[in-house]
Amino acid sequence: MTSLSPLLIPAALGYSVLALLLRNTPLRGKNLFLMAASIPTGFGICSLILFFSIWIIPSKAMPISLTSGIGLTLFLGGFLLWKNSTEISRAKTPTPSPGVELFRQKLFDAVPKNKRTVLKSVFLAISCLIFLITLWNVIHFFLLSVSANITGGWDARYMWSLKAKFLFRSPEAWQGMFSPVISWSHGDYPLLWPGTLAWGWNWLGHESFLWPPWASLCFYISSVLILVWYLRTQVSPLAGWWGGTFFLLLIPPLFWSISLYTDLPLAFFMTASTLMLLVALRAGQAKLFMVSGLMAGLAAWTKNEGMQFLAVLSVLLGGLTFLKRQRTSSQTRLGLLSFLGGICLPLITVMILKIFFGKSGEYLGSGRSIGEICRTIFSQRSDISLILRSFAIHGRNFASWKGLWCFFSFAGIVWFFKKNRNGFSGIIPVLILLLNSGYALAFLISPANLSWHLATAFQRLLVHTAPLALVFSFEMLTFRTRAPEKQGGQTA
């Protein structure tokens, strides 16, 4: 399992950062969230460390990035342990440890009170079992498929892996990846995934074929767990297991994950950011906003579409803050500031990349004026209808999506007619609508042939918002047995 060893530092680093940010917050299911988000966050931070090392001291970037990563992990881990230990020693009366208390509570909960409780427990246990069996089978299938095609799909081989090779093989000449000579490799694309690959290769000391599939599998499992976490803690435990199982059955996220594309990593960060924002808005806790901001920033560091997500989510949050200003002024403003604080580091890194290195681009960096772009958009009515038809065709494809988009549409109707629309649940459909509208505009102004572009990219773009569509469907169409987070709740 040597090829898995590069996971060690990202997992520990991601855990330390998130655990510190989530200290003294009333987040439910904190452990499950940490389990889901630690490794992707760690990948993000390690890729940032690698980028800054290679930018500032290219000749010694690899040893410096490794040392910095290990050092930061030890420092933050030690700080977390120290914080936790001082908190325990400060307690005046002896209290049972959280583990013992949890065990006692679980034991107590396990005793059935009446038949309905027994039935509920049995149903939950069966649901959990179905989830675990499905997860096992899907992981088995993932490993079989990547073993047969270890280098992944076209973009994985010739774009993402190419950038990773520049970072790993030649820190002094890494800027070759932005050369116009190889403009087909998209010099303006962000570097979270290439940085993750280069981090692993650097750790192992060679370009391991086995590391990229392991990293991709981590993102896939994290995406499943983040859904289980949110649905379990915000909707119902039953929704958690079934939501996770349903996601495991969706073919596109699995397929593009096996192909080692960055669409599922982006979907993970977009989902984690949005779901954490919903929890933060309900709980009114600044630290939760910061975690949401960090995830949104890492989405922008993963793919260009992440920048669009970041902009849309910031505008939505800004709008909400403005609307709520009359009622809870300082709390919401603090929330917005914390969100922006979380975004900061990844966003600055993306800006450095775009301003100093990857200046070219098919859209904003293409040299076309805003007027030209607008004329292109409004002069192509047949293209607009083709894009809308693609949405309909893909949305109705049951073999791939298992009815997800039909459920989502129905959930939208239910939401529209719902009398009590609290809990900020409307954010998800608005976000999905805005993001996909943005993608439709991007198709219109893309210099590539539209039919070809739709055939190669449309399904992948739907993967970005699929986890959120799933969450919204479960929120609207199932029993809610969990009360929403309360403002200023007790700390855990």
Partner 1 sequence: MKNTTSVTVKPPQFTPSGIISVLFFIALFGIVLTSKLPTATGPVLFLKKEFLAGRESLFRFQDTGLPYAPFEAYVPKKGIISFLTDKPYDPFKMAAEQLQAAQGRLIPLLLNSAPVEPTAILFCSRDEIAVARIQETGYKPVAALGNGKMMAEKKT
Task: Please say which residue, 108 or 479, places its beta carbon nearer to partner 1.
Answer: 479
Considering the complex, what minimum distance in angstroms separates the CB of residue 479 from partner 1?
A: 5
* Torsion sign across C-alpha atoms 297, 299, 300, 302: positive
Considering the complex, what minimum distance in angstroms separates the CB of residue 92 from partner 1?
A: 15
* Torsion sign across C-alpha atoms 455, 461, 467, 473: negative
Sequence-distant (6+) residues with CB within 8 A of 248 are: 131, 134, 135, 138, 224, 254
Considering the complex, what minimum distance in angstroms separates the CB of residue 241 from partner 1?
A: 11
Considering the complex, what minimum distance in angstroms separates the CB of residue 339 from partner 1?
A: 22
Q: What's the per-residue H, E or C state across 87-115?
A: HHHHCCCCCCCHHHHHHHHHHHHHCCCCH
Are 295 and 341 within 8 A, CB to CB? no
Task: Please say which residue, 361 or 489, places its beta carbon nearer to partner 1.
Answer: 489
Q: Is 395 helix (H, G, I), strand (E, B) or coil?
A: helix
The beta strand positions in 90-213, using DSSP E, are none
Task: Please say which residue, 2 or 84, places its beta carbon nearer to partner 1.
Answer: 2
Considering the complex, what minimum distance in angstroms separates the CB of residue 476 from partner 1?
A: 8
Six-digit token string for 403: 């009815």
Secondary structure (DSSP) of 325-381: TTTSHHHHHHHHHHHHHHHHHHHHHHHHIIIII----SSGGG---HHHHHHHHHT-H
Task: Please say which residue, 108 or 184, places its beta carbon nearer to partner 1.
Answer: 184
Task: Please say which residue, 58 or 77, places its beta carbon nearer to partner 1.
Answer: 58
Q: How far apart are CA 307 and CA 315, in angstroms?
A: 12
HSE-up of 139 (CA within 13 Å, CB side)?
Answer: 13
Task: Please say which residue, 57 or 133, places its beta carbon nearer to partner 1.
Answer: 133
Considering the complex, what minimum distance in angstroms separates the CB of residue 117 from partner 1?
A: 9
Task: Please say which residue, 55 or 441, places its beta carbon nearer to partner 1.
Answer: 55
Binding site for partner 1 (CB under 8 A): 1-3, 26, 28, 116, 120, 130, 134, 137-138, 141, 143-144, 146-151, 154, 157-158, 161-162, 165-166, 169-170, 173-174, 176, 179, 181-182, 184-185, 208-210, 213, 233, 238, 242, 245-246, 249, 402-403, 407, 414, 473, 477-479, 481-483, 485-486, 489-490, 492
Cα 486 versus chain centre, distance: 24
Considering the complex, what minimum distance in angstroms separates the CB of residue 41 from partner 1?
A: 23
Task: Please say which residue, 246 or 309, places its beta carbon nearer to partner 1.
Answer: 246
Task: Please say which residue, 344 or 413, places its beta carbon nearer to partner 1.
Answer: 413
Considering the complex, what minimum distance in angstroms separates the CB of residue 258 from partner 1?
A: 11
Six-digit token string for 283: 């709980």
Considering the complex, what minimum distance in angstroms separates the CB of residue 94 from partner 1?
A: 15
Q: Which residues of 386-398 are buried (b: 16+ CB within 10 A; e: fewer)?
A: ebeebbeebbebe
Which of 229, 291, 278 is closest to 21 using CA atoms?
A: 291
